[in-house]
Amino acid sequence: MLCYLDEIAALLFLSTPATYLHNIWFAAGILSSFRRILQHFHTTAEDYTVIFTSGCTAALKLIAESFPWIPEGTKQPSSRFCYLTDSHTSVVGMRGITAQMNVLSVPIKPKEILLAKSRLPAEEQNCTTPHLFSYPAQSNFSGTKYPLSWIQNIKSGKLCPIKIPGKWFVLLDAASYVSSSPLDLGVHQADFIPISFYKIFGFPTGLGALLVNNRIAPLLRKTYFGGGTAAAYLAGEDFYFPRKSIAERFEDGTVSFLDIIALKHGFDVLEKLTERSLGRIILHYSSGMEKIKQHTFALAHYTYAALSNLKYANGAPVVRIYSDTDFSNPDVQGPIINFNVLDENGDVLGFSQVDSMASLHNIHVRTGCFCNTGACQMHLDISNEDIQRNLQAGHVCGDNIDLVDGRPTGSVRISFGYMSSFEDAQTFLNFIIATRLSKSDSEIPLQTVTKPMTESVPDDHLSFNNADKLSPVLQISDRDLRNISSEAKTTGRWQPLEPEAESIRAAVSETAVPTCRKGDKPITIAKIYLYPIKSCSAFEVTEWPVGNQGLLYDRNWMVVNPNGVCMTQKQEPRLCLVNPSIDLKQKIMVIQAEGVDPISVPLEDNTGKEAVICESKVCSHRVKTYDCGERVAGWLSTFLGRPCRLIRQSSDVKSKSHQKNTKGLSCATNISLSLVNEAQYLLINVASILQLKEHISARLKEPLEIEELIRRFRANIVVSAPESFEEEEWAEISIGALQFQVVGPCSRCQIICIDQQSGERNKEILQSLSAARGRKTNFGIYLMNQPLLSSFSDILSVGSQVLPVLKENTEIQPPTSSEEKCSG
Ligand SMILES: *Cc1c(COP(=O)(O)O)cnc(C)c1O
Ligand SMILES: *[C@@H]1O[C@H](CO)[C@@H](O)[C@H](O)[C@H]1NC(C)=O
Ligand SMILES: *[C@@H]1O[C@H](CO)[C@@H](O)[C@H](O)[C@H]1NC(C)=O
C-alpha cells in the first residue's frame, strides 16, 4: 500500500507548485480509499491487510500461490485445498496451481458441508498443517447465500469440511455477495476475502483487493518479486529481502493508483444514495449496504413471484427458475434470478434466442453457465458425460450453442443492483409476457402476485425512492394488455399462401427440368449471393465457383477494430453500406460505397503481415489471417468514421484437409470454414419469405419489398420451393454434382432488423419472425458441402435444380446453431 506513496513522494519534489497540490491530493486520496475499504467491511488495519489486485480472480490466484501449503510426500501431514462445487471458475481454477505444488484438492458439495458436523479428536488438534476451505458467500449462479457462520465453525474445528488433522483457514469468495449485501469482518473473520470493485460500484474495472486476516498474513509465501515488493535484492545473486509490509510485498509493479483514488467516489455515491433515502438522518455506512440488500432483494422477490406464476393457457409454466430458496429471506437469497424460458410443451427455449429478444427490449441478460459449471450442472442436471459430449458437439463455454439434443447447455440470469428500480423489474416482466403470452394465454396471473415484501423485510425499505411503487398489488396495465392482444392477432397459425413471387420466379431460368419429387413442382435456385467481406453488403451473382469452404471468396475478409475484434452490423450498421464485388478475370475485389471513390484489393496478394483475430474476447490464430494494408484500412476508417482494418484469411487454410462430416451436427468445429462462420452456406426459401412478408406487413405501416426482406436474411442460396418452410424437413440436398448436408436451422438475431440498403434498424422484423414462428427465431438452414470429388471447382448457377432428401425422423431438432452467420 505504501509503496506508491514513495513514488508520489518523489513526484512531490519534481513537480511544479500546481501539480504539487495535485499530488498531495493523490496521496490523501489513496489513504482515504484504503481506510474506506476497511471501514466498509467493519474492520481495521490491526486485523486485516488490504492488498490491491487487478480483480477477484487475480486475488484468488495470489492466494493459491502464496498459501503456506505443505505438499504431499514430506514428513508432515500434507495440506488440502477444499472448495464448494458451487464456486466460480476462478476458484476452481486454483486447483491448477495447487496441483503443481503437489497439493490435493477436494471438491465438496453444499449438502456435504451441511451434513459435516464431526469434531476432530482432541489428539489430532495439535497438528499445524494448514488447509484451505473456499466457498462463495453468494453463488454467482443462483444467488444462494451460504451461511457466514461456517467461517467461525470451520476455524474453531466445530465444522470439518473433511476429516483430516490440521488447522483450517477459510477463503470467503465475496465477489458476488458484497455487491448487494453488507459484510462485517468484525464478526465473520474469514482469512481471505477477494473482491472486485466493479461488482460493487460498476466501476473501476480492473481493480480488486484481497483482504487477508493478519493471523495468516505473515505466513504467506512470496516467490515472484516484482517492482516495489523488495526491500533489497541483488540482480546478480540469489538475494532478495522482501518489504516488511505484507501489502507492499504482494502488490507487484505499480498498482492502478488513479482507480484506487476513484474508489472514494464510489463509496461516496453509495453513501449519498442511501442517505437520501433516509431523509435527514445519516446512518453509518454499513446500514446503507443493508438498505441496498433490502432494496435489491425486494425487487428480486417481486420478480421471482411474478415469474413463477406466469402460465400458458394450458397451465404450463412460462419459465423454470433454478434456485435453492423460495426468495423469502434476504439472508439466504441474493438478488439474482436464474431461469430458462419454456414453451407450451415444457421444452426449453435456447438462451441465445432469449438473449436476442431481450436485447431488442434493451434488457441486458447474462446467459450460459456464468463461469460456474458446478452450479450449472447441479441445477440443469447436466452430467460430467453431458459436458464432455456437448464439447464434442461443438459447444464450448461462452458460445451461443444453447441446446444440444433439445436440452439446455446453460440458462438466463438477471441480477439487481443498487441502481435497479421497480420499473426495471416491470420492464423485464413485460418483456417475458409480450414475447411469450398471446391473447389466448392472457389470463395473466399477475394479480395473484402478493404484495412484494411482506414479513421478512422491515418497513423502512419503503424509504427507497421507488419503493412506494412497490406496494400496490401488481396488475398489468391496460396498455400492456393492448400490446399483448396486438401480439396475439399475429400469432395464429399461418395459412398457406398463394406464392406471388413473380419477381423472383422471373429470375428463375426457363431451363429448369421437372423432377419426380412426389409429383411436386421443381425446386430451383433463384438467387446466389456472396459476402466477400463479413458483415458487409451482398454481392449477387448468377453463377459462381464453389470451393472447399463454400462459395469462392465468400466471407474471406473481415473488418476488425484496432484490437483485432471483428466488427459486425450489430455494432456498426453502416457496414452494410460497404459494397464489395469480385472480378475474377482481373483478380481484384472492388469495394464501393456512396460518396467515396471505389478502391480495389488484389485477390492473390498475401504479402501483408500476419494478423490476429479476436472472436468476442478470445484472440486466436485458429484462422490464419493477414492484414490488407494501410490503403484500404484508411479507406474503411474514413467511411465508417472509426479506426479499423481489413484482414483476410490466408489461402493456405483452404487446402486444409476437409474432414468427413459425421452426423451432420457435430461437424461445425472440424470442417474447413472461412472466417468465423458457423457453416459454409445459408439457404433460404422464397416461399417462406413470402409467408413471413404477409405476417410482417400486417404489423408495419409501410409495405416491405420482397427483395429487401430477402437481403435481410443474408443467405448464400435462395431457392424457390413450392411449400413454405419445407426446407426445414431436408436432411441433404444435391445440386448438379454438388452434395450438401443440412447442418441445422439458423437462429436469427437482430441483424435481420437492419435494412441492408439504408442501415436503419426496425425491431418489428425480429418480433414478427418470433411471433410468426411459434416464438422461435429460426429462419433458413445451414449447409455444408461434401468434399469435392474432383480438383476442379464446381459451379453453382441460378436456375439449377435442387433435389432434397427428406429427414427420416422429422422430429429430431438439431441444436440451434449460433448466430455467427447471421452476424454477417
Ligand atoms: C465475479 C466473481 C468472481 C470473479 O471476479 P472477477 O472480477 O471476474 O475477477 C469470482 N467469484 C464470484 C462469486 C464472482 O461473482
Ligand atoms: C497437544 O498439545 C497439548 C498442549 O500443548 C499437550 O498437552 C498434548 O499432549 C498434545 N497432544 C499430542 C497428541 O501431541
Ligand atoms: C458473476 O460472475 C461473472 C463473471 O466473473 C460476472 O460478469 C458477473 O457480473 C457476476 N455476477 C454477479 C451477480 O456477481
Which residues 6+ apart lie within 8 Å of 115 measured at CB?
A: none
What is the predicted pLDDT for the residue at 244? Answer: 64
User: What percentage of the chain reaches a pLDDT higher than 70?
Assistant: 68
DSSP 3-state of 643: coil
DSSP 3-state of 379: helix
The segment with the largest mean pLDDT, out of 89-93, 504-508, 557-561, 567-571, is: 89-93
Of 11-25, 525-539, 557-571, 766-780, the poorest mean pLDDT is in 11-25
Q: From the CA of 22, how far away is ligand 3's center (Å)?
A: 35
Give the residue, out of 370, 376, 397, 416, with the most ligand 3 atoms within 8 A of its beta carbon, to mutate for a pocket test.
370
Which triple of cell numbers denotes residue 694? 404477409
Average pLDDT over residues 574-580: 92
Helix (H) or strand (E) holding 804: strand 802-806
Give the residue, out of 371, 372, 415, with the most ligand 1 atoms within 8 A of its beta carbon, to mutate for a pocket test.
371
Nearest ligand to the CA atom of 139: 1
What is the predicted pLDDT for the residue at 475? Answer: 31
Ligand 1 contact, 88 CB (< 6 A): yes
Atom of ligand 3 nearest to the CA of 415: 13
What is the predicted pLDDT for the residue at 566? Answer: 78
Closest CA to 135 of 78, 60, 79: 60
The catalytically annotated residue of 56, 82, 369, 371 is 371
> In terms of DSSP H, where are the helices of 502-569?
502-507
What is the predicted pLDDT for the residue at 521? Answer: 77
| Rg, the chain, Cα only | 30
Give the residue, out of 52, 53, 57, 370, with the most ligand 1 atoms within 8 A of its beta carbon, to mutate for a pocket test.
57
Domains of the chain: 4-267 (3.40.640.10), 281-486 (3.90.1150.10), 523-806 (2.40.33.20)
What is the predicted pLDDT for the residue at 754? Answer: 80
pLDDT in tens, 398-419: 666 677 777 788 889 999 988 8
Contact 824, 575 (CB under 8 A): yes
Residue 30 has pLDDT above 50, yes or no: yes
Atom of ligand 2 nearest to the CA of 124: 13
Residue 265 has pLDDT above 60, yes or no: yes
What is the predicted pLDDT for the residue at 656? Answer: 35
Helix (H) or strand (E) holding 739: strand 738-747
Nearest ligand to the CA atom of 193: 1
DSSP state of 754: B
Residue 423 has pLDDT above 80, yes or no: yes
DSSP 3-state of 344: coil
Q: From the CA of 123, how far away is ligand 2's center (Å)?
A: 7
Give the residue, out of 181, 371, 397, with the most ligand 3 atoms within 8 A of its beta carbon, to mutate for a pocket test.
371
Helix (H) or strand (E) holding 558: strand 557-560
pLDDT band at 19 (very low <50, low <70, confident <90, very high): very low
Residue 159 has pLDDT above 80, yes or no: yes
Ligand 1 contact, 140 CB (< 6 A): yes
Helix (H) or strand (E) holding 37: helix 17-40
pLDDT band at 181 (very low <50, low <70, confident <90, very high): very high
User: What percentage of the chain reaches a pLDDT higher than 90?
Assistant: 28
The protein residue whose alpha carbon is closest to atom 12 in ligand 2 is 123
Amino acid sitting at position 449: V
Give the residue, out of 178, 181, 199, with the most ligand 3 atoms within 8 A of its beta carbon, to mutate for a pocket test.
199
pLDDT in tens, 183-195: 999 999 999 999 9
Residue 583 has pLDDT above 90, yes or no: yes
Average pLDDT over residues 122-141: 84
Average pLDDT over residues 805-810: 70
The protein residue whose alpha carbon is closest to atom 12 in ligand 3 is 176
Contact 334, 199 (CB under 8 A): no
Q: From the CA of 801, how far away is ligand 1's center (Å)?
A: 55
Contact 580, 532 (CB under 8 A): yes
Residue 516 has pLDDT above 60, yes or no: no
Q: Quick one: CA torsion of 88, 92, 94, 100, rounded to 10 degrees? A: -160
Of 170-179, 269-278, 301-310, 636-645, the poorest mean pLDDT is in 269-278
Ligand 1 contact, 196 CB (< 6 A): yes
The protein residue whose alpha carbon is closest to atom 3 in ligand 3 is 370
Which residues lie with the beta carbon below 6 Å from any ligand 3 atom? 140, 176, 179, 199, 336, 370-371, 415
Contact 54, 208 (CB under 8 A): yes
Residue 456 has pLDDT above 50, yes or no: no
Between 625 and 323, name the one with better pLDDT: 323
Ligand 1 contact, 136 CB (< 6 A): yes
Residue tagged 436469427 (cell numbers): 748
Atom of ligand 1 nearest to the CA of 138: 13
Residue 551 has pLDDT above 60, yes or no: yes
Residue 172 has pLDDT above 90, yes or no: yes
What is the predicted pLDDT for the residue at 819? Answer: 37
Amino acid sitting at position 138: Q
Between 727 and 550, name the one with better pLDDT: 727
Which triple of cell numbers denotes residue 711? 437481403
Atom of ligand 2 nearest to the CA of 123: 13
DSSP line for 389-432: HHHHTT--TTSS--EETTEES-EEEEE--TT--HHHHHHHHHHH
The CA distance from 762 to 751, in Å, is: 10
Q: Quick one: CA torsion of 14, 19, 20, 26, rounded to 10 degrees? A: -110
What is the predicted pLDDT for the residue at 501? Answer: 31
Which residues 6+ apart lie within 8 Å of 687 measured at CB?
A: 499, 501, 720, 721, 722, 723, 724, 725, 726
Average pLDDT over residues 730-741: 85
CA 436 to chain centre: 22
Nearest ligand to the CA atom of 123: 2
pTM (two decimals): 0.56
The CA distance from 147 to 331, in Å, is: 9
What is the predicted pLDDT for the residue at 821? Answer: 40
Q: From the CA of 625, how far away is ligand 3's center (Å)?
A: 33
Ligand 1 contact, 672 CB (< 6 A): no
What is the predicted pLDDT for the residue at 607? Answer: 65
What is the predicted pLDDT for the residue at 218? Answer: 84
Nearest ligand to the CA atom of 127: 2
Give, to the nearest 10 degrees, the angle between helix 478-489 and helix 422-436: 20
Which triple of cell numbers denotes residue 183? 459484510
* Residue 610 bridge partners (DSSP): 626
Task: Establish whether the linkage from the previous residue to 815 is cis, with ω within 30° of 0.
Answer: no
Ligand 2 contact, 126 CB (< 6 A): yes
Q: From the CA of 27, how far away is ligand 1's center (Å)?
A: 29
- List b or e across 247-258, with b for residues whose CB sees 16 or more CB atoms inside 10 angstroms: bbbbbbeebbbe
Residue tagged 429430431 (cell numbers): 812
pLDDT in tens, 629-645: 899 999 999 999 999 99
Q: From the CA of 179, how far away is ligand 3's center (Å)?
A: 10
pLDDT band at 778 (very low <50, low <70, confident <90, very high): confident
Residue 21 has pLDDT above 90, yes or no: no
The protein residue whose alpha carbon is closest to atom 14 in ligand 3 is 176
Mean pLDDT taken over the chain = 74
> In terms of DSSP H, where are the helices of 573-725?
630-640, 686-697, 706-712
What is the predicted pLDDT for the residue at 742? Answer: 85
pLDDT in tens, 643-701: 999 988 765 443 333 333 333 322 223 334 455 455 688 999 999 998 888 888 877 77
Which triple of cell numbers denotes residue 295? 432494496
Nearest ligand to the CA atom of 84: 1
Give, to the nearest 10 degrees, the angle between helix 422-436 and helix 285-309: 20
Between 83 and 222, name the one with better pLDDT: 83
DSSP line for 677-690: -SSSEEEEEHHHHH
The protein residue whose alpha carbon is closest to atom 3 in ligand 2 is 126
Q: Is 371 a catalytic residue?
A: yes
Q: From the CA of 127, how far away is ligand 2's center (Å)?
A: 9
Nearest ligand to the CA atom of 145: 1
Q: From the CA of 683, how far away is ligand 1's center (Å)?
A: 41
Q: From the CA of 329, how far away is ligand 3's center (Å)?
A: 22
Average pLDDT over residues 155-183: 90
Residue 476 has pLDDT above 50, yes or no: no
Length of the chain: 824
Contact 707, 745 (CB under 8 A): no
What is the predicted pLDDT for the residue at 418? Answer: 85
The CA distance from 202 to 205, in Å, is: 7
What is the predicted pLDDT for the residue at 252? Answer: 65
pLDDT in tens, 53-77: 889 999 999 999 999 999 998 888 8
pLDDT band at 612 (very low <50, low <70, confident <90, very high): low
What is the predicted pLDDT for the residue at 192? Answer: 97
DSSP 3-state of 614: strand
Residue 498 has pLDDT above 70, yes or no: no
Average pLDDT over residues 491-504: 29
The segment with the largest mean pLDDT, out of 165-179, 275-289, 694-708, 751-765, is: 165-179
> In terms of DSSP H, where are the helices of 278-413?
285-309, 351-360, 373-380, 384-392
The CA distance from 718 to 713, in Å, is: 10
Q: From the CA of 168, how far away is ligand 2's center (Å)?
A: 18
What is the predicted pLDDT for the residue at 774? Answer: 73
Atom of ligand 3 nearest to the CA of 88: 2
pLDDT band at 782 (very low <50, low <70, confident <90, very high): confident
What is the predicted pLDDT for the residue at 302? Answer: 92
Residue 576 has pLDDT above 50, yes or no: yes
CA 810 to chain centre: 31
The segment with the largest mean pLDDT, out of 182-196, 346-360, 391-405, 599-613, is: 182-196
pLDDT in tens, 288-329: 788 889 889 999 999 999 999 999 989 999 999 999 899 999
Q: What angle do CA 473, 326, 369 make, to 5 degrees?
A: 115
The protein residue whose alpha carbon is closest to atom 11 in ligand 3 is 140
The CA distance from 743 to 626, in Å, is: 29
